[in-house]
Structure 1
């Protein structure tokens, strides 16, 4: 007599694998968007902290600082010496190169920097106020 063992057929295994892959794909995309959103929040916090430190340092030590907005990074420097660099997440980019000078009193010229984001429908606008180094970010 033959012993008949029960097992899954190849078709059943392929169906289960296909359903598992589909479920995994449905969860990975929202997770990636969530991670990218978190990276953008971390960038804005880092930018705010570095900006404040540079403005205070400029007026405290009476030195001229430069803030360069490049494609994927923002470089804060003192007399053309690289000091601090804040990198943008992969979902963000600066529309055009801008360089801003912070004088020795912490005063700054007014500008608007446009930052594009693949996660947002509208770009971010960093509106830098003329005077004491204040800025506002809007959509």
Structure 2
């Protein structure tokens, strides 16, 4: 019996090759995620900010109330301005602590009206060395805000 010359990969060789390539890609993706995550307390702060913003917009729509958002070095406060008597006894302020690794360039106070309108605002967050770390843009309407990290 005569063997034919074969060129190329067998199925087993192809599966092994794809497995190695997939493994290398997964390791790179995990490393990129670790590098981009930065400070975990900052990631927690931004998740908490997003949750508070969402609760504020839902409460404002449901209860027809406006909110004052006060952004300071140590904390961010979401405070209902007009509380109408409803089935809720009281709507409390929500306070989020700012991690020590960042602080706001200048304190801000703004109002998110019950119709969803908020004046467009740009908030600059600095690192401990005074360099710009995040640019946060508050937009009109319930579209909310957008945070960009400076490299």
TM-score band by shorter chain is: 0.5 to 0.7
Whether the 8 Å CA contact 2:78–2:95 is kept in 1: the answer is yes
CA distance in 2 between counterparts of 1:109 and 1:56 reads 19
Aligned to 2:112: 102
Whether the 8 Å CA contact 2:135–2:148 is kept in 1: the answer is yes
RMSD: 2.2
Secondary structure (helix, strand or coil) at the match of 2:93 reads strand
Give 5+ residue unaligned stretches, structure 2: 1-37, 83-90
CA distance in 2 between counterparts of 1:61 and 1:102 reads 13
Aligned to 1:46: 48
Secondary structure (helix, strand or coil) at the match of 2:142 reads coil
Aligned to 2:29: none
Match of 2:102 among 78, 92, 97: 92
The alpha-carbon distance between structure 1 residues 40 and 120, as it changes in their structure 2 partners (threshold 3 A), is farther
- Relative to the length of structure 2, the TM-score reads 0.62
Q: Which moved more, 1:75-84 or 1:36-45?
A: 75-84
Aligned to 1:64: 66
Aligned to 1:16: none
Give 5+ residue unaligned stretches, structure 1: 1-35
Whether the 8 Å CA contact 2:68–2:110 is kept in 1: the answer is yes
Whether the 8 Å CA contact 2:125–2:132 is kept in 1: the answer is no
Secondary structure (helix, strand or coil) at the match of 1:123 reads strand
CA deviation map 1:34-90 (0-9, x unaligned) = xx8111111110011001110121111100111001121101001288611001111
Count of residue pairs the alignment pairs up: 104
Q: Report the CA distance between 1:103 and its aligned residue.
A: 0.8
Secondary structure (helix, strand or coil) at the match of 2:95 reads strand
